Amino acid sequence: MSYTAEISRMNPTCFLFLIDQSGSMGDAFPETSRKKAENVADAINRLLQNLVIRSSKSEGVRDYFNVSVIGYGSNTGPAFSGELAGKEQVPISQVAINPARIVERTKKVEDGAGGLVDQTIKFPVWFDPTSNGGTPMCQAMETAHRILSTWLSQHPDCFPPIVIHITDGESTDGDPTEAMQRLVRLASNDGNVLLFNVHLSSNPDSKPVEFPAPPVELPDRYARMLFDHASALTPYMVSVARSDYQLKLSDGAKGFVLNADPILVVTALDIGTRTPTLR
């Protein structure tokens, strides 16, 4: 394991988000009224905004990252909205200047007297919730493989690309095991592609599991498959999880989350996209 390559404008890395947009993503999270697709869209948009902020310097947004957002459901392909619609991969500077729209949201903030008040904030939207069709996971993994194969041929020395896959159901176009194995065999000179599997399980027997290390008990063979093919966290990601989120991770902790609620989805996205200092 290396994962020590410097990330710079001359040597950027790539984030690829694979988002399940099947019909079941229209179901609500347990104990909430919001659909899974809506919460996942909020988490992706918040993360894109954070990536823009992390890349911002006094002279503007530096292209440390290229970003792909691929949805799969009734169709498999680019899932950006607005001006970026149809684009498989874009530099973060283009993400910064091309939100589909800006909406207003409210959040609770301290009022200075021990209470909380609502504060209105601007919230950029690049990705909209969709829930329709089946779960063609094999096709989604093959699409990711094609995109990252091209990226790695052009950036052989980059910090390895990171794939964050969010799903709530079983594949409907076959067993994705081989496709996942092919994906994580892709590598730069600094290490193999990293795959996170965030599983929004609907199994009533499943309990929340966050970044476990083997051995671990899981409720079904599908959760086991997603766990088995998730990558181990890098040492830097482990340090972030421990210091920023006070997670007590074991050695060998993997990029796998089961039965994630909206907060855990955000946590997984943040940890999964943490990389060493940018230059």
Whichever domain contains 152, its CATH number is: 3.40.50.410
By C-alpha distance, which of 278, 5, 13, 46 is closest to 151?
A: 13
- Structural domain includes residue 142: yes
Instruction: List C-alpha distances in Å: 198 to 92, 109, 156, 229, 277.
Output: 23, 29, 27, 12, 25
- Structural domain includes residue 278: no
Q: What is the pTM of this model?
A: 0.93
By C-alpha distance, which of 262, 264, 201, 268 is closest to 40?
A: 262
Residues 23 and 175: their CA atoms lie apart, in Å, by 19
- Structural domain includes residue 8: no
- Structural domain includes residue 60: yes
pLDDT in tens, the chain (279 residues): 689 999 999 999 999 999 999 999 999 887 677 899 999 999 999 999 999 999 999 999 999 999 999 999 999 999 999 999 999 999 999 999 999 999 987 776 676 777 777 778 889 999 999 999 999 999 999 999 999 999 999 999 999 999 999 999 899 999 999 999 999 999 999 999 999 999 987 666 678 899 999 989 898 899 999 999 999 999 999 999 999 999 999 889 999 999 877 788 889 999 999 887 777
- Structural domain includes residue 5: no
Q: How many Cβ atoms from other residues are within 10 Å of residue 212's Cβ?
A: 19
By C-alpha distance, which of 77, 92, 85 is closest to 273?
A: 92
Domain of 63 in residue numbering reads as 13-272
Instruction: List C-alpha distances in Å: 78 to 19, 32, 102, 223.
Output: 10, 29, 20, 26
Count of structural domains, the chain: 1
Strands 13-20 and 116-125: unpaired
